[in-house]
A and B are shown apart, each in its own frame.
Chain A
Amino acid sequence: MIEARDLVVGFGDQIVLDHLSIELRRGEILGVVGASGSGKSVLLRTLIGLVPQRQGTIAFTGLGRDGAATPNESAIARRRGILFQQGALFSSLTVRQNIQFPMRENLSLSDRLLEELATAKLEMVGLNARDGDKLPSEISGGMTKRAALARALALDPDVVFLDEPTSGLDPISAEDFDVLIRTLQQTLGLTVFMVTHDLDSLHTVCDRIAVLADGKVVADGPMTAMLASEHPWVKSYFRGKRSRAFATAPN
């Protein structure tokens, strides 16, 4: 679905991504991990076009259900949803208006349908209709993430990019959110690109994991492959103290 080849991204003298290649396949949940500062967020921002690459190509194939050969930038933008780390809800609009914003701008819908769809999206991410009338500053962190996810899903995208979706949530909310992502991925047939640090998320929702280090993908595969990897960083990440529970659990 998305294939990035030979990406080089840097700021000034600093090279963040060094000839990196990564592929996102249709219908999977790809988890990207790496040490802080290894360029996970930069990779995400490059893929969605917020950071220009110095070299390399990013090919979107089959995006847009008609599978046009070379979809243009705005067509791609409509077929992807992005959940930013802090939610990035527009602070001057209510939650409901935030969800309606992409629909209102891109589709010609009647007011009644707009209201109903916004409520539908709110309920799909586990909020209730009344939360929709609150301002982003009036809701909790977990609700912000859910509202932002609802906005990311407003246009029924094919692919969703999630930047640390469970960071800043308590373990129970984080687990709920993982389940939510899994459920929505299955019901809506989403492809998910997820940057995360949360071992539980990686374990429960990701089909495939890619590990970034030194500006490259050093390991790529399902959880079992990660546990078997001999790369020193991968080893300490997946078999460290905090992840011992998974390493010992029957997989």
Chain B
Amino acid sequence: MTPDPLLSSSLVADRLRLSPAGAWTAAHAHALEQLIDAAAPQAAHAKAISIDMAGVEELDTLGAWLLERLLRSSNLSAPNAQFIGLPSHYRGLIDEIHQVNLHKPPPPAKPNRLLAAVDGVGRATTQLGTDAVAFLDMCGQIGVAVARIFMHPRRFRLTSAVYHLFRVGWQAVPIMVLITFLIGAIIAQQGIFHFRKFGADTYVVDMVGILVLREIGVLIVSIMSAGRSGSAYTAELGSMKMREEIDALRTMGFDPVEILILPRVVALVCALPILAFLGSMAALYGGGLVAWLYGGMSPATFIARLREAISVTHFEVGMIKAPFMALAIGIVACSEGLKVKGSAESLGLQTTTSVVKSIFLVIVLDGVFAIFFASIGM
């Protein structure tokens, strides 16, 4: 083990002579700081300081800096404050350390709490505006890209769109079906449990049918897609942005919206209605199964009752909503992806924002649709 550091001092006629010994290295950082702090008051009153380095066995940047700091704290200049007996191999380090930390970095401005709170609110408010503009901007760019594709249909990236359809559509089927099946089953179970109290068991079928087809099927699938596919879009586009791939596309004269974003959004718009349909069917199946096993209602009765309870309108209401939800998710995911900056942290932040925002938008859209369909009597 290396010898512990020591600092002995002798004060003769206001001339302080310090003799450090042992290992002045980072491994002993804590002890060194205490030694220096203990010597500081003496150094402050001395008329001259010399530090005798002959006893130092090891020295690194930390040890050298602490000694240098002690010298500087005395406000004495070279002939009165100096190192003596310095071994030649430490000369370079001491000289180097002598050059650093000469200008104090400006102390970080202390934020006023109240001002910071107001500042935060203000920034968040303007951020809302910028976000809305970014969303509209992305809508516009996608609109322009779509118009261009209509003029020159061959420019559409069909392969890419099919690949993304496979990822966000086909590969999502198992999890979507499983989740909606469970949700359907739970709704039916709860309905039976509570409706039974006033003998309205059969109305469970109405509730499950209408709720699933109009709301739950498409809503659950949209939220799941926002978490599963929207986040993937944001992360993909974000890392492409970080690695300057998007700039590379642009400089080659391609439109990233047309090449990267449009196929993704189109894939999502195609996939979501399909998933919503499959999800609704799975939820009805789950509801029927629970009604049969838990509520004792035979499948034949359930289907007959379902036929009376629902009309094709309910199904249409659900299906009409799906592509709009997909559009909202896709646009939010892609515009958040393009907002990613250089750091890994910003990628994480934008991915989170993308998911939160698209789920929020999906629910707001659902509310708007509910008002709309009620007012046109659907």
Chain A residues with CB under 8 Å of chain B are 65-66, 91-92, 103, 106-110, 113, 115-117, 119-121, 123-124, 129-130, 132, 135-138, 153, 155-156, 183, 186-189
Contacts and interface: CB of A to CB of B under 8 A. Distances in A.
A247 B92 CA distance: 33
B105 A130 contact: yes
A157 B61 CA distance: 10
Chain B CB within 10 Å, residue with most, of A103, A115, A132, A155: A155
A188 B61 CA distance: 8
Contact of B62 (A117, A124, A136, A138): A117
Contact of A92 (B66, B92, B345): B345
A156 to B, nearest CB: 4
A156 B62 contact: yes
Given A119-B105, A129-B103, A156-B26, A124 B343 contact: no
B341 A120 contact: no
Where chain A touches its partner, the secondary structure class is helix
B375 interface: no
Interface string B10-51: 000000000000010111011001000000000000000000
A84 to B, nearest CB: 15
B187 to A, nearest CB: 43
9 contacts: A65-B25, A91-B345, A113-B33, A116-B65, A117-B61, A123-B100, A136-B342, A187-B92, A188-B60
Given A110-B33, A189-B89, A135 B105 contact: no
A108 B30 CA distance: 6
Contacts of B30: 107-109
Contact of A135 (B33, B69, B101, B343): B343
B99 interface: yes
Contact of A156 (B60, B69, B103): B60
B243 to A, nearest CB: 11
Contacts of B29: 107-109, 113
Contacts of B301: none
Contact of A129 (B23, B27, B33, B105): B105
Contacts of B62: 107, 113, 117, 156
A186 B92 CA distance: 7
Contact of A65 (B33, B58, B99, B101): B58
A92 B343 contact: yes
Contacts of A103: 26
A177 B123 CA distance: 41
